[in-house]
Amino acid sequence: MIRKLIQTKRLYFDGGTGTVLQQMGLEPGSPPESWNLSHPEKIIALHRAYLDAGCNIIKTNTFGINRDKYENYQQMIRAAMDCAKEAVRGREDAYIAFDIGPTGRLLQPLGDLPFEEAVALYAANMKLAAELGADLILIETMNDSYETKAAVLAAKEQTDLPIFVTNVYDASGKLMTGADPAAMVALLEGLGVDALGINCSLGPAQMLGLVEQLAAETGLPIIVNPNAGLPKVEDGKTVFTVGPEEFAAAMEQIAQKGGCILGGCCGTNPDYIRALIERTDRLPYALPEKKEKTVVSSYTHRVEVGAIPLLIGERINPTGKPKLKEALRQGDLQYILNEGIRQADAGVQILDVNVGLPEIDEQKMMKEAVCALQAVCDLPLQLDSSNPAVLAEAMRIYNGKPLINSVNGEAESMEAIFPLVQKYGGAVIALTMDRSGIPATAEGRLAIARKIAQKAADYGIPKKDLIVDPLAMAVSSDPMSALTTLEAVRLLREDGFYTSLGVSNISFGLPAREKIHSNFFTCAMERGLNCAIMNPFSAAMMDAWFAFRALHNMDPACESYIRYADNAAPAETSAPQRVDLPYAILKGMKEEASAAARAALMEMEPLAVINEQIIPALNEIGAAFEQKKAYLPQLLMSAEAANAAFEQVKEKLPAAASSGHSVLLATVQGDIHDIGKNIVRVMLESYGFTVYDLGRDVSPETIVQAALERNCKLVGLSALMTTTVPAMAETIRQLRAADPTIKVMVGGAVLTEEYAAMIHADHYAADAIGAVRIAEKFYQ
Amino acid sequence: MIGAIESAVLRPAQGELHARLQIPKGAEIPHLQEQMAALQEAANCRWCAQRVPILWQEDGVDLGFGLIQSKNLAKNLSGCKEAFLIAVTLGLEVDRLLLRLSAQSSARHFITDGLASALAEAACDAAEAQIKGKLTCKPRFSPGYGDLPLSMQQALLQFLRADRIGITLTKNTLMVPQKSITAIMGIMQ
């Protein structure tokens, strides 16, 4: 009903709840939802006052209710729904929006609320809302894109009701956690909500620019529920600065800029809504035009396909990368994060994430990698797996609208992938192959693309969300392959498809491959290629991209080319200083230590480099630290330089010759401090220990399982807060129970020798050097 | 009251920074300029505050959100009839920056973390100046100092509606964004 209605006419929400209830006697500081049970007549009166003012949609008084905050949440929700139903009884054109706000907690990994727990908290409310007869769900005042996604998923999974979402933006036009309006549109349209918009925090005048931004991005009805201006304090009380008439005047402008569903938030009352309706209900009504943009998004911004060729960094894909394979086997997330950050710094717009290795649990690894990457890197991700179950997991927990790699023309592939896109949103790479393989002609590949687009339409997925990859194959085995692929790019573009290629495949089997594939890249861009999955650390590829943009008027005043060329130039002249290895380590010079190790390895055995150069230098700085002649920052820099040297040595060292001495580290459950643990890690690594770092906030079960799996007999635990020491004690207890031969060392600000003994730790490490000494002794 | 502070104007106090990095005063800090710049770029510094009457009870004080039994706080507020409650944060991008650095370089991570703590103190000083205006106040007193329990954080943040500036609390009463500070500041007559 509401879905149909908003196609044809402007609807009105009610206004503020808390501020009005306070005028009715609610104590400041006590929650409005407490009145559902204690003062239902007042809640009904509030709803009726708004309906009398002319609004169509009332919000239930349920904003702050959830299972976490109130044991009797169900009773409270029932009471609130009863009030709303009583208020709309006998009125036509009056609808109940079940209202839900943020949980007040931040999601993992920056906060401590697991994504699925957030979904479950919302799901409990949504289920009741549907049972009790709400007309729609309003998810409002959301200041985090990730939590917004959790709430929308819960609504989709528990109800068939229309879903309206409004976010709260600050004066800089962003959510508290970073998303701009365009990013929210990408996420929410992908999830398939019915209407989206803004509420709270700002007055209508400050929202005008945001409404324009939304209108430029979305084809959905835009909701605008502002405050009565900005709050200010008068005589110790918060008051709002904009009166009903001024409010209505500003809302008129908002309606003209595309606001479809209008109402108010904090500080507004029925007078504001009445004035708003008088002022706007005769204005012509139109939904925003449907937009033909192809976008993917991250927690901050959206990336649009089409204007310039986009670079998709391919370095997080184990194919042909032994170091990444090793990192995946070890569960080394730090390595993956670093590859992501380095590619972002190198200038890609999207990161491919593929963690598929036959011997690991890809689903679990994918989830961990996506969670870690999206917390620290603001680029949209391309989720890449041949296993739909892995994609499903990754798409669910992704904080934005992802790019998905991939679907192909086989019915089985489309039937697995398209329902996921329908549920979670996303743009999809469509490979032009099917059961009979890759067509030999460009026309054949276009035909498959059309077939995929047709099938996608059955799932409601528009053509614009498909990016077609006509597949580059080795030119060394088929002399026509490059020409066919280039022609396919041209045909596809002509047919209205965007395109992508794994560019480097073209040079497979040839020497000096870069020369071939960077030139192929240019040829493909000439034909209109939109995305390239590529290696941003390849200078030839980056040269091709920057030059192409400069030559095709895609780089105003050649600015980015000039910046790129300037940065690329000095690298050749400022080669690392030549110093000897111990000196480089003592001085904490990373690049120099790496170069010096390479030089030393020409003259010495790998083990000699370790024992005669690296370890003595580390011991020297360690001793200086213990004598307070050197300080922690220097010690850490030396350790990092030693690690860089170790990396070089390891490549020369036969695998069997490495010590195999390992230490497992973790910050215990509930604690998200990781500085101390990281310091211990880098010091242990610099002494040649293999460190399995499980990260922070790690449950006892995970630690036990990892220790057993890796057969690691020395575990280091860190806790920085007294509140998390019990988690440390519990971890030790479980480790003991699982394997009595495991030894545990502990450290952290709140621990002492006595405290460590009390929780049955084997060793107490006062500092990082102490931890190294314990590990050395253990393996003697 | 609610406000923001331009992070570019903040300068951490020297002694503060060196103490956090466990180095003697005057010792050189590697990567200082670069990490300071990264930090200021990431920081989105905001505060909120409220002026409240102090209700003196036999066994503690009430600042509007329940009885606080703390001898140290009572001593700190002695002679005052009113106080400011303050919350300040450097914002979530600083947490992300630190998380990023923890994957890249433990030296930079350690230095930047210390720098960020010192910057949060500086932000608190700047917020304090805006909040108190011409009033004379006692030194700030924060949950976790002396016998003032961290467990009051929840009620304090809720009372201040610190969610407006993005401060949340974990189940272990740790504030996120991590570089956030809450404080009580007695107003002298």
Q: Has residue A285 got a pLDDT over 90? A: yes
- How sure is the predictor about A577, in pLDDT bands with cuts at 50, 70 and 90? low
Are residues A545 and A617 located together in one domain of the fold?
Answer: no
- How sure is the predictor about A576, in pLDDT bands with cuts at 50, 70 and 90? low
Q: A41-55, A267-281, A743-757: which range is least confident on average? A: A743-757
- DSSP secondary-structure letter at B45? E
DSSP H or E run through A139: strand A136-142
Count the alpha carbons within 13 Å of A65 in the hemisphere toward its beta carbon: 28
Average pLDDT over residues A41-65: 97
Are residues A651 and A694 located together in one domain of the fold?
Answer: no
Q: A39-48, A138-147, A617-626, B20-29: which range is least confident on average? A: B20-29
d(CA A165, CA A188): 8
Q: What residues does A313 pair with on adjacent strands?
A: A351, A534
Q: Has residue A655 got a pLDDT over 80? A: no
DSSP letter string over A287-329? PPPPP--EEEE-SS-EEEESSSPEEEE--S--TT-HHHHHHHH
pLDDT above 90 covers a percentage of chain A that reads 80
Does the beta-carbon distance from B107 to A633 stay under 8 Å? yes
CA angle B1, B6, B9 (to 5 degrees): 125
Contacts of residue B163 in chain A, CB cutoff 8 Å?
102, 104, 143
A40 to chain B, any CB pair closer than 8 A? The answer is no
Contacts of residue B93 in chain A, CB cutoff 8 Å?
178
Are residues A373 and A386 located together in one domain of the fold?
Answer: yes
- How sure is the predictor about A488, in pLDDT bands with cuts at 50, 70 and 90? very high
d(CA B62, CA A565): 64
Do residues B31 and B108 make contact, with C-beta atoms less than 8 angstroms apart? yes
Give the 3-state secondary structure of A385-417: CCCHHHHHHHHHHCCCCCEEEEEECCHHHHHHH
Average pLDDT over residues B47-61: 93
Which domain, by its residues, includes A450?
294-568
A78 to chain B, any CB pair closer than 8 A? The answer is no
Contacts of residue A341 in chain B, CB cutoff 8 Å?
100, 103-104
More confident: A301 or A331: A301
Does the beta-carbon distance from B113 to A675 stay under 8 Å? yes
The Cα diameter of chain A in Å comes to 93
Residue ending a domain, among A236, A254, A280, is: A280
End-to-end CA distance of chain B: 21
For chain B, domain boundaries: 2-187
pLDDT at A660: 78
Q: Quick check: is A418 in a domain? A: yes
Query: Under 8 Å CB-to-CB from A110, ≥6 apart: which residues?
Result: A375, B92, B95, B96, B99, B176, B177
Nearest to A367 by CA among A389, A400, A345: A389
To which residue do tokens 């971890």 refer? A731
Q: Quick check: is A454 in a domain? A: yes
d(CA B128, CA B122): 10
A105 to chain B, any CB pair closer than 8 A? The answer is yes
Q: Quick check: is A4 in a domain? A: no
Does the beta-carbon distance from A376 to B103 stay under 8 Å? yes
Does the beta-carbon distance from A109 to B95 stay under 8 Å? no
For residue A678, give the chain B residue with the closest CA: B106
Are residues A696 and A634 located together in one domain of the fold?
Answer: no
What are the tens digits of pLDDT across the range A222-270?
999 999 998 777 776 778 889 999 999 999 999 999 999 999 999 999 9
User: How crowded is residue A193: how many other Cβ atoms within 10 Å of its Cβ?
Assistant: 21
Tokens of A293: 């943009």
Does the beta-carbon distance from B107 to A176 stay under 8 Å? no
Tokens of B37: 């710049």
To which residue do tokens 């035909």 refer? A447
| Best mutation target, A723, A724, A750, A767, to test chain B (most B CBs within 10 A) | A723
Contacts of residue B23 in chain A, CB cutoff 8 Å?
631-633
Q: Has residue A570 got a pLDDT over 70? A: no
DSSP letter string over B114-142? HHHHHHHHHHHHHHHHHHHTT--BPPPB-
Q: Quick check: is A613 in a domain? A: yes
A316 to chain B, any CB pair closer than 8 A? The answer is no
Residue ending a domain, among A658, A686, A701, is: A658
Contacts of residue A377 in chain B, CB cutoff 8 Å?
100
Q: Which of A106, A233, A674 sits opposite B102 (nearest CB)?
A: A674
pLDDT at A389: 97
A672 to chain B, any CB pair closer than 8 A? The answer is yes
Do residues A660 and A692 make contact, with C-beta atoms less than 8 angstroms apart? no
End-to-end CA distance of chain A: 75
Q: Which of A106, A231, A637 sits opposite B176 (nearest CB)?
A: A106
Are residues A564 and A441 located together in one domain of the fold?
Answer: yes
Rg value, chain A, Cα: 30
Cβ pairs bridging A and B (under 8 Å): 118
Does the beta-carbon distance from A675 to B110 stay under 8 Å? yes
Contacts of residue A231 in chain B, CB cutoff 8 Å?
2
A698: domain CATH number? Answer: 3.40.50.280
Are residues A589 and A730 located together in one domain of the fold?
Answer: no
Rg value, chain B, Cα: 17
Quote the minimal CA–CA distance from A148 to chain B in Å.
Answer: 15
The rounded mean pLDDT for chain A is 93
d(CA A434, CA A421): 20
A 712-741 residues with CB < 8 A to B = 721, 723-724
A320 phi-psi bin (left φ>0, alpha ψ -120 to 50, beta other): left
Residue ending a domain, among A549, A568, A587, is: A568
Give the residue numbers in B contacting A (CB under 8 Å), as ranges. 1-2, 21-24, 27, 29-30, 44, 51, 64-65, 92-93, 95-96, 99-100, 102-107, 109-111, 113, 150, 159, 163-164, 166, 168-174, 176-178
A651: domain CATH number? Answer: 1.10.1240.10
Does the beta-carbon distance from B30 to A723 stay under 8 Å? no
Q: Quick check: is A368 in a domain? A: yes
User: How crowded is residue A637: how many other Cβ atoms within 10 Å of its Cβ?
Assistant: 26
More confident: A544 or B30: A544
Q: Has residue B14 got a pLDDT over 80? A: no
Are residues A550 and A639 located together in one domain of the fold?
Answer: no
Q: A249-263, A663-677, B134-148, B160-174: which range is least confident on average? A: A663-677
Are residues A679 and A545 located together in one domain of the fold?
Answer: no
A82: domain CATH number? Answer: 3.20.20.330
Are residues A560 and A581 located together in one domain of the fold?
Answer: no
pLDDT at A148: 98
pLDDT at A572: 45
Q: Which CATH class is domain B2-187?
A: alpha beta
Are residues A615 and A722 located together in one domain of the fold?
Answer: no
Supply the ipTM of this predicted assembly. 0.91
What are the tens digits of pLDDT across the range A2-52?
999 999 999 999 999 988 999 899 987 788 999 999 999 999 999 999 999
A479: domain CATH number? Answer: 3.20.20.20
Average pLDDT over residues A633-640: 89
A639 to chain B, any CB pair closer than 8 A? The answer is yes
Are residues A409 and A504 located together in one domain of the fold?
Answer: yes
Q: Which of B23, B96, B150 sits opposite A375 (nearest CB)?
A: B96
For residue B100, give the chain A residue with the closest CA: A376
pLDDT at A180: 97
d(CA A148, CA A297): 14
